[in-house]
Amino acid sequence: DLEAKVPVTTKDELGFLARSMNDLARELKRYQDSRREFFSNVSHEFRTPLSYIQGYSHALKNGLHQNEDQRQQFIHVIHDEANRMNRLIDDLFELSRMEEERFPLELELVHLGYIAQKAVRKVRPSTGEKAITLVTEIEEDIPDIVGDSFRLEQIFMNLLQNAVRYTEHGSVRVKVLEENGKVKGMVSDTGSGIASKELPYIFERFYRVEKSRARDFGGTGLGLAIVKQLTELQYGTIDVESRHGKGTTFTLCFPEAREGDE
Ligand code: ADP
């Protein structure tokens, strides 16, 4: 066990050194664990679609389908799973770029209400046949923030897509308001909600509350990790409140632009 490598016996410099060494060892172990877990997650995430593709292409190759309908069905599965692998690669690549310091952002003065409305317009068609009302409440005279409008839209799109994905009926509500020198963007829904014991983990890469169900919805499990990174890159914070079976609210909070900001 790394944690007990150097016994701390004194309170002098030597004791201090021993304590620092132990802290360092613990830190290193945490890093190694998370690295290992990450790679194991990635391989798992790729193995699942790959096994579908292998299975169904094998069946087609050997003429194991019973009729044309079934042949089409097999082809669809292969196509969908290949698309999923593509999304995974795109998301992983984006996330790894975001974790570097040099991630390029085009910062300018932006109106968060305008961005929110744009995202809502894009998401509206995806409510499809669900009985969901999409509501926007944008306060008047919201001050600008400094951000990258494309990336801010991506944040709202991700939150809205999740809200629609995990809500069967009721409403998805987007609010933008000013509070104590901050501009807040809220996306709330009346959907499945998230149990409080799961809440601390949902921003982690690949964390899904109900693995197989979330997978059926087509997500990669990286959406919220990307949202959090993008928010923090723009000096914002993100919080979540949820009640299982009742609904979920995500709150973004950005500092108002100050005079001279551009
Ligand atoms: P996914 O691609 O699976 O949606 P995300 O990172 O976007 O991955 O979200 C992680 C998990 O958090 C989801 O799998 C889902 O279980 C849960 N989740 C996210 N948003 C909501 C929501 N609005 N309502 C209920 N559960 C949600």
pLDDT-based confidence at residue 186 (cuts at 50, 70, 90):
very high
> Which residue lies with its CA nearest to atom 21 of ligand 1?
162
pLDDT at 253 over 90: yes
φ, ψ of residue 52 to 5 degrees: the values are -65, -50
pLDDT of residue 118: 97
Average pLDDT of the residues in 92-105: 88
Burial of 147 (0-12, 13-18, 19+ CB in 10 A): buried
Q: Is 219's C-beta closer than 6 angstroms to any atom of ligand 1? A: yes
pLDDT-based confidence at residue 262 (cuts at 50, 70, 90):
low
pLDDT-based confidence at residue 152 (cuts at 50, 70, 90):
very high
Q: Is 49's C-beta closer than 6 angstroms to any atom of ligand 1? A: no
**Residue 202 CA, ligand 1 centroid: distance in Å:** 7
For residue 165, give the H/E element and its range: helix 149-165
Percentage of the chain exceeding pLDDT 70: 96
Q: How many CB atoms lie within 10 A of CB 171?
A: 16
Among 239, 210, 250, 247, smallest CA distance to 132 is for 247
> Which residue lies with its CA nearest to atom 13 of ligand 1?
208
pLDDT-based confidence at residue 179 (cuts at 50, 70, 90):
very high
Q: Is 231's C-beta closer than 6 angstroms to any atom of ligand 1? A: no
Residues 6 or more apart in contact with residue 187 via CB below 8 angstroms: 156, 159, 160, 163, 172, 173, 174, 249, 250
> Which residue lies with its CA nearest to atom 20 of ligand 1?
162
pLDDT of residue 214: 67
Ligand 1 pocket mutation pick from 194, 204, 222, 250 by most atoms within 8 angstroms of CB = 194
**Residue 99 CA, ligand 1 centroid: distance in Å:** 21
> Which residue lies with its CA nearest to atom 25 of ligand 1?
193
Helix (H, G, I), strand (E, B) or coil at 146: strand
Q: Is 163's C-beta closer than 6 angstroms to any atom of ligand 1? A: yes
pLDDT digits (tens, 9 = 90+) for 203-225: 999 988 876 666 777 778 999 99
pLDDT of residue 197: 93
pLDDT at 190 over 90: yes
pLDDT of residue 212: 63
Least confidently predicted of 21-35, 134-148, 237-251: 21-35
pLDDT of residue 208: 86
> Which residue lies with its CA nearest to atom 14 of ligand 1?
208
The rounded mean pLDDT for the chain is 91
Least confidently predicted of 7-16, 42-51, 70-79, 211-220: 211-220
pLDDT-based confidence at residue 245 (cuts at 50, 70, 90):
very high
Q: Is 247's C-beta closer than 6 angstroms to any atom of ligand 1? A: no
pLDDT at 163 over 80: yes
* Position 107, amino acid: L
**Residue 223 CA, ligand 1 centroid: distance in Å:** 8
pLDDT of residue 102: 81
Pairing assessment for the beta strands 169-179 and 131-138 based on DSSP bridges: parallel
Ligand 1 pocket mutation pick from 44, 87, 162 by most atoms within 8 angstroms of CB = 162
214 vs 141, higher pLDDT: 141
Question: Residue 134 in contact with residue 127, Cβ under 8 Å?
Answer: yes
Task: Give pTM, 2 decimals.
Answer: 0.86
Question: Residue 78 in contact with residue 56, Cβ under 8 Å?
Answer: yes
